[in-house]
Structure 1
Amino acid sequence: MTAPSVDQQAGVLNISKSVEDDGQVCISEDESVKRTAGWTDVAYHSVTAMVGAGVLGLPSAFSHLGWAGGIIFLSFSFWVSWYTYKLLVYMHEVPDLDCTLGKGVRRLDRYDQLSAYLLGARRGKLVLLPFQLAVLIGIGITYTVVAGGCLQAFAGSVGTSGNKVLGTWAYMIMFGALQVALAMVALAMLPSFDDIRWVSLMGSLMSMAYCIIAFAMSASVKPDSTVNYVPAAVPRSTIDRVMGIFNALTSILFAYGGHNVALEIQATIPVGGRHPLTTIPAMMKGVNVTFLVTGLCYFGVTIAGFHAFGTAVPDNVLGAFAHGSHFWVVSAANLMVVLHVAAAYQVVTMPVYNLIETRLKQARGGVDLTMPMTLGVRLLYVILVTLVAIVIPFFGALMGLIGAIAVTPTTFLLPPLFWIMFKRPRKWGLEWSVNAFLVVVTALLGLMGMVGSLYIIITSWQTFKVFAN
């Protein structure tokens, strides 16, 4: 029997447990976390977190990069995403110097715990928290824009010619109202991450379903001689062309956002039994399956969509089929997107709710918030996110902006930087050089994408009317 010890760096209560395996190994982990998952659960959670509505905007990114540039960068981002995800997996289990039984292993169950372990509690929070908040809030805004557009497309495709379709803003408000209702339900019955495997399974199935529909519909199109695949042939000013390329690069990077919950997913795998002393083999099996599915979805939808429409492909490739002969298939796909982002919105927003409510509790001297106060916080948050989405409903530019300022750092920049600090490879050796290269290159891509996305948002907003149909 061992006594509990407080991890001063990460700020979590850890319970040390000894596990026998040719000697004593001390596993330090938080016993409040439920851990019953296997590699299949890892795949459900990871596919749901990674394969999102952003895949529907990837063909539009090719309209600025062309065939060669698009495929090269999509392949590069795919490999880098898998590599940096792997780095996070291998940093989930770190040496525990407090263990006196033998070999000590500490499990880091959240991204912020890893940052605190490497940088210290205060600095780790300052480095990671702004990026994580930008990711979570930005995804909420983007999901609202996606849901509003898909609901509007659904209403337009199933309605009669005499019915007037409301503006996108109205459907965003409907989606916001749905999120308020779901937030209330979640407040009353919030399961642990380990308990939502079936929700993640359904989410992953819906993601794959609308990707299959987008691929099949695009592949069925026989492009005529008027379809253009050369971005240079599109009449654009030099500044528009450059900014479009910048935004396209980070739109592709935005598609890989699952890293922010990688350690939370790995935390659900138990140590011992089927996973003796380490969770890495089971986690990597699930991760490899995830990237196989992700690659098929991303490359399939992007190549088929760009081949069908060339540089004229819309921001959301499903929008090109809204009034075709098979509109009912597209209508079903739009509903799948709405259902997927409705569930995913709650998943990415819960940490924001918890952070706001924790800060308010501290401001009240440690007194818990009342139920009306908690509901008020969540209602106000959803209203603000919905208003921002209504004012900036530019899906492609939002993808690039969120990818630049948030997803790029947490997905591509911080993992190799943390790995250098954690592993301390020989300076200028191959391992050090590869990771240092990724840090520098992804930082530059993030800056380029931020500039390009802001330019497109500003120029588009100048002619945009907020409450127009």
Structure 2
Amino acid sequence: MANSTDAKSVDAKSVDADVLVDAQIAHDNIKRTAGWTDVAYHSVTAMVGAGVLGLPSVFAHLGWAGGCIMLAFSFWVSWYTYKLLAYMHEVPDLDSKEGGGIKRLDRYDQLSCYVLGKNRGKWVLLPFQIAVLLGMAITYTVVGGNSLHAFTTAVNPDIKLRKWVFYIIFGGLELLLSLIPGFTELSIVSLLGALMSVAYCTIAVAMSGTVQPPAGSVNYEPMAVPRGGLERAMGIFNALTTILFAYSGHNVALEIQATLPRTEAHPTTVKPMMKGINITFIITGIAYFAVAIAGFYAFGTGVADNVLMSFAKGPTSWVVAMADMFVVVHVASAYQVYSQPVFLLIEATIRERTTGEHLAVQSVGIRIAHVVFVTLVAIMIPFFGSLMGLVGAIAITPTTFLLPPLLWLLYKRPARWSVDWCTNWFLVVVTAIIGTLGTIGAIYGIAEASKSYHMFA
């Protein structure tokens, strides 16, 4: 899958100082053998979450104009901030005695520490990043368990197992996958996940396209839906953040880029990284717009939170069951993409404090403990969807939309009132406002869900 065989890896003694490979390679045991195709696999798997199936319901709160504008804005903002991270992966090595060396920032926390200082950088980023990475793993356990339950009951309605049993089954699958040592070895899994995400999006679009609503039979006006003022406002707040957070994946961007080699032919990783990023956004953009527009056109404001649920019964129910299994495979892959940075971070900390003779055993123990913890939390919290909305608003906002432009401003220091300066400050302010609105909407959702809360529901 990798494209690294095209050129030989750089020999630090045979090239100029400006293309020296950072010594962090050996220290973190990172295999730099990936290519732009691997970047695309990992990024599509991380970015195209099962939440894409809920985009039509977002249009039910924003309407045609508002939905399309926000979806296009989210597309641009996410691509732009992803690009900023890619361009900050390679920076001047301030610790180089010779001067002129290049340092590779292989983890998001390394970038934050490089720009803000070691202590401040960790405290500014790590709490939010860990919340996102753990939150996504828990969310994917819930989605994977629910989809596995839906598939099983569709195939055999006589099966009466509780949903939490399927969470445990999904967790068992993740236990096996978590033994994959790193992103390089995860390429095949990510490719399968990317294909599955495209597959269930295609099913959603195709099935929506078969619906031919009679003229005037479908309502496309959110204001025509009877809702209270508070309910309407909270729906809009949640819709804004749902669309904005649809393009996630920034929290694993640098870890993915770390697997790219710098070669004699390509002394920088930016070009292959951007190629993979651009392919990723082409795929996700087409999928998101197609699912959102087709689903909303078919059902209008009456569309289900998951558009596939609108087809759950009838002669096409088997297609929905197949799509549910595609979702299971995809989120199982995405779970690992979001968990690998957690493993890398903890293992790097252990490597600094202990000898390497017991590292393999400790690594396996860490991965097992992580999966067990995530599975238990998923089982215990039935309204985690609303809780993840809160995590998304207060954690995804800074790591995905606030920190990249802010770090760029502090690192590059563009001239005041220049296009670069204005663009990045605009993103900081606007996404902070949307994140605040999303926090309000998520808290409201949790308060409503908690009224019917039951442990291990």
TM-score, with structure 1 as normaliser: 0.86
Q: Letter of the 2:408 partner, please give it.
A: W
Corresponding position: 1:173 with 2:168: yes
The equivalent of 2:424 in structure 1 is 435
SS in 2 for 1:239: helix
Q: Distance in 1 between matches of 2:314 and 2:38?
A: 38
Choose from 282, 287, 300 the match for 1:297.
Answer: 287
Give the deviation of 1:405 after TM superposition.
Answer: 1.9
Matches of 2:109 and 2:374, distance apart in 1: 24
Aligned with 2:234 (options 243, 247, 252): 243
Q: Deviations over 1:275-302 (max 9, x none)?
A: 1x21211211111111100101111111
Give the structure 2 partner of residue 49 of structure 1: 46
SS of 1:25's equivalent in the other structure is: helix
CA contact (8 A) 2:63 2:220 kept: yes
Task: Report the alpha carbon displacement of residue 376 of structure 1 after superposing the two structures with TM.
Answer: 6.6
Matches within 5 A, 1:210-359: 210-224=200-214, 225-275=216-266, 277-353=267-343
Deviation at 1:151, TM superposition (A): 1.6
- Of 18, 36, 47 in structure 2, the residue corresponding to residue 25 of structure 1 is 18
Distance, in Å, in 2 between the alignment partners of 1:287 and 1:171 is 34
What is the CA distance between 1:366 and its match in structure 2? Answer: 10
Aligned partners of 1:310, 1:398: CA distance in 2, in Å? 27
Question: Partners of 1:26 and 1:343 in 2: how far apart?
Answer: 34
Pairing of 1:32-111 with structure 2 (within 5 A): 32=26, 33-99=30-96, 103-111=100-108
Pair 1:430–1:369, CA change in 2 (3 A): closer
Please identify, of 150-159 and 135-144, the stretch whose mean Cα deviation from structure 2 is larger: 150-159
Tell me, in whole angstroms, the C-alpha distance in 1 between the residues paired with 2:183 and 2:347. Answer: 19
Structure 1: runs of 5 or more not aligned = 1-14
SS in 2 for 1:203: helix
Residues 245-290 of structure 1: CA deviation (Å, up to 9, x unaligned): 1111111122211111111221222112331x21211211111111
Q: 1:100 to 1:357 in 2, by over 3 A?
A: closer
**Matching residue's letter, 2:163:** T
Residue 209 of structure 1: aligned partner: 199
Q: What code does the residue aligned with 1:108 have?
A: L
Q: Identify the range of structure 1 (48-57 vs 352-361) with the bigger mean alpha-carbon deviation.
A: 352-361
Determine which structure has the larger strand proportion and give its number. Answer: 1
Cα shift readout 1:135-185 (whole Å, capped 9, x = no counterpart): 11110121122112212221232224xx254443332233234334544xx
Residue 361 of structure 1, CA deviation: 9.3
Shifted more, 418-427 versus 50-59: the winner is: 50-59
CA RMSD of aligned residues (A): 2.8
Whether the aligned pair in 2 keeps the contact of 1:254 and 1:400 (CA below 8 Å) is no
Is the Cα contact below 8 Å between 1:112 and 1:128 reproduced in 2? yes
What is the TM-score normalised by the length of structure 2? 0.88
How far apart, in 2, do the equivalents of 1:213 and 1:268 lie? 33
Partner of 2:121: 124
5 Å-filtered alignment, 1:176-187, equals: 176-183=171-178, 186=179
Tell me the amino acid that sits aligned with residue 117 of structure 1.
Answer: Y
Gaps of 5+ in 2: 1-9
Letter in 1 for 2:25: E
- From the superposition, tell whether residues 168 and 62 of structure 1 become closer, same or farther in structure 2 (CA, over 3 Å): farther
Query: Aligned pair in 2 of structure 1 residues 40, 353: CA closer, same or farther (>3 Å)?
Result: closer
1:148 and 2:145 correspond: yes
Are the aligned partners of 2:140 and 2:331 in contact in 1 as well (CA < 8 Å)?
Answer: yes
Would you say how many aligned residue pairs link Structure 1 and Structure 2? 443
* Distance in structure 2 (CA, Å) of the matches to 1:124 and 1:50: 25
Residues in 2 aligned to 1:18 and 1:243: alpha-carbon distance in whole angstroms: 60
Change (3 A) 1:457 1:392: farther
1:413 maps onto 2:402 in alignment: yes
Name the CA distance, whole Å, in 2 between partners of 1:358 and 1:279.
22
- Aligned-residue sequence identity (percent) comes to 59
Instruction: Give the letter for the 1:267 counterpart.
Output: A
In structure 2, relative to structure 1, the CA distance for the partners of 1:355 and 1:99 (3 Å cut) is: closer
Cα distance in 2 for residues equivalent to 1:360 and 1:263 = 21
Note if contact 1:26-1:105 (Cα within 8 Å) is conserved in structure 2. yes
